[in-house]
Amino acid sequence: MRNAGPRSGSLFGRLGHHLNFLAPVALFSLGGNLLLLGVPLYSMQIYDRVLPTQSVTTLVVLSLLIGAMLLASFLLDLIRGRLMVQLAAKVATGMSGDALKAGLRGDGTAAPVQASNDLDVVRRTLAGPVALAVFDAPWALLAILIIALIHPFLGVITAIGALLLVAACFAAAIWTRRAQEGLRRVDGRMAATLHDFGADNEALRAMGGIDAVESDLLARRGERVHLELRAGYANAFARAVSRGLRSTLLLAALGGAAWLAVQQAVAPGAIIAVSLLLVRALGPIEQLASGWFQLVEAGQAWRRLDALTGQRTNRPRTRLPAAEGHLAVTDVAFRYGQSGPLLLRGLTFEVGGGETLAIAGAVGAGKSTMCRLLAGAQPPIMGDIRLDGASLEDWPSDQWGRSIGYLPQEFQLFAGTVAENIARFAAVDDEAVVEAARLAGAHEPILQLPQAYDTDLGDPRLRLSSGERQMIGLARAFYRKPRYLLLDEPTFHLDDAAENRLVSALHELKAAGCTIVIASRSAALLQLADHLLILQRGRPATFRAHAAMAAVLRPRLAAETNAPADDQEQARTA
């Protein structure tokens, strides 16, 4: 049953649910800061009462009292720090499920990484000192007000010094932030280069591209060192300016208080009291100014997570009847990003349950993009795609996963056993795994692996051929005989025997009532189709059904059948 309460992804709602943490932290901050104000009062009483009267009893009583106050302040500070750490862990844990789930459903591989990074930013900020500085800042202003009450002249000195300190911290933070942004850009480019090199290093080695890659990486490493120096200079500048301003302000306050004491405008005890109050006032202000961009970054991460977990695709959905496979596409259009060119547009067609649609077209016509949309991997920017009358977004994730099989043109096998990969990392059904492998023609090749179905595909010593990877990918798509199957160039790495097995498997699945969508250049696969969609620059150039298919496929089949063996592959890819 669906949860009828507020959406679980609302991050602001989550903080509202944790007032049992925030309220005590605010209360303990109030108590701790008020107790620490006893230190300057203690110094004033020593100068104004103990020293003039030479009263040891008064000194002992005051010392015991201030000791108790400091102990209480220490305990309150310890408790509120623990509460903030617990709050950070609780909020991050509560958000992680929805955020990572939504990130994995987002566009591209960056979405889950961004969601994970945003969770870490929110957690570190809530558990760090800058969050406590937010609670301490109002009481720092109270300390400045008390200094002004001791004498307005001292209050003016303190206020001016605090403003200068804030300005210096902001300037250093801006400098450091720019250097760190540059570091992130350089690190991102280096990581992308290393990733791409790792994925295709054999071709680069063969074509002598290693030296060029090495030069590029060394240049970026030098740029990174330069940016690290800039960030280090900024931090050193911030520390030096902060220390110098604090010392100057402290001396100015001490000198001003001493001059006022000589003029008998304040009591002698005010000299020490003002210095202690000044230290107490500047600490949170300096910390808040230095960590301001951390708060801004956490706020941006917070908003991204809130938007991500609030997407419609992340909400609980009602379970639907078992899929029958009736596919309806209405006026669909698609582009990547907000301002990219339209890759698909004006697509409207229907495929009945148990029927087969073939998608054809030149390179770049949009066949793979069409498959991604029909699989629900990408949402259209316009129009509607429905399976059995329900929008693809309305299908519960687990039910959709059991109903669909999808083999993209470029796919990944993950670290884990062969059986786990075929079972899509759900609970492994051994019989269903073997059945899917047999159907894809992968059973015999899998048995030749070191541990057969228990072979770890993440083992760097394991080298699968492209055909073996393709057959395991097909087995994953065939797992539990889905009712809705999408294959993008499934014969790309298959030989003739494997292609014939694939044709037989598709005949079997079609006879079982599976709706099949194939993007392929193989005439043997295209002849299975009940409908043919030909794309031209993202537009539907032709949509043929049933009897009209024979007129399209007969010339290609004749060409493959009558051509010499060496020419059949050329006819197949024409």
Q: Are 212 and 203 within 8 A, CB to CB?
A: no
Same domain for 249 and 156: yes
46 pLDDT tier (thresholds 50, 70, 90): confident
In a domain, 216, yes or no: yes
Average pLDDT over residues 157-182: 79
- Given a cut of 60, is residue 311 above it in pLDDT? no
- Predicted confidence at residue 207, as pLDDT, reads 64
Closest CA to 37 of 141, 134, 158: 141
In a domain, 245, yes or no: yes
Average pLDDT over residues 180-194: 72
- Predicted confidence at residue 112, as pLDDT, reads 63
| H or E element at residue 265 | none
- Given a cut of 60, is residue 568 above it in pLDDT? no
Mean pLDDT of the chain: 80
Q: pLDDT digits over 324-348, tens only?
A: 889 999 999 998 877 778 889 889 9
Average pLDDT over residues 227-242: 76
Same domain for 147 and 36: yes
Same domain for 69 and 150: yes
Task: Using the 3D structure, point to which of 314, 342, 376 is the last residue of a domain.
Answer: 314
In a domain, 136, yes or no: yes
- How far is 536 from 365, CA to CA, in rounded Å? 5
Same domain for 337 and 430: yes
In a domain, 511, yes or no: yes
Query: CATH number of the domain that 249 lies in?
Result: 1.20.1560.10
Same domain for 350 and 301: no
Residue 328, SS3 per DSSP: strand
Which of the given ranges, 17-26, 314-323, 420-429, 561-570, has the highest pLDDT on average? 420-429
In a domain, 2, yes or no: no
Residue 331, SS3 per DSSP: strand
In angstroms and rounded to an integer, the radius of gyration of the C-alpha atoms of the chain is 35
- Predicted confidence at residue 10, as pLDDT, reads 43
Structural domains in the chain (count): 2
- Predicted confidence at residue 208, as pLDDT, reads 62
Same domain for 354 and 256: no
Same domain for 379 and 244: no
Average pLDDT over residues 139-166: 86
- Predicted confidence at residue 99, as pLDDT, reads 67
- Predicted confidence at residue 569, as pLDDT, reads 41
In a domain, 411, yes or no: yes
Same domain for 126 and 171: yes
Query: CATH number of the domain that 382 lies in?
Result: 3.40.50.300
Return the minimum-mean-pLDDT range out of 30-34, 94-98, 235-239.
94-98
Question: pLDDT higher for 173 or 557?
Answer: 173
574 pLDDT tier (thresholds 50, 70, 90): very low
Q: pLDDT digits over 517-562, tens only?
A: 999 888 888 888 889 888 887 677 667 665 455 455 545 544 544 4
In a domain, 351, yes or no: yes
- How far is 490 from 512, CA to CA, in rounded Å? 20
Q: pLDDT digits over 350-365, tens only?
A: 999 999 999 988 888 8
3-state percent helix, strand, coil for the chain, nearest multiple of 5: 65, 10, 25
* Residues spanned by the domain of 155: 11-314
Task: Using the 3D structure, point to which of 279, 314, 349 is the last residue of a domain.
Answer: 314
Backbone angles phi, psi at 429, to 5 degrees: -100, 105
pTM of the shown model: 0.66
In a domain, 320, yes or no: no
Task: Using the 3D structure, point to which of 283, 314, 345 is the last residue of a domain.
Answer: 314
- How far is 252 from 147, CA to CA, in rounded Å? 13
- Given a cut of 50, is residue 194 above it in pLDDT? yes
Same domain for 199 and 300: yes
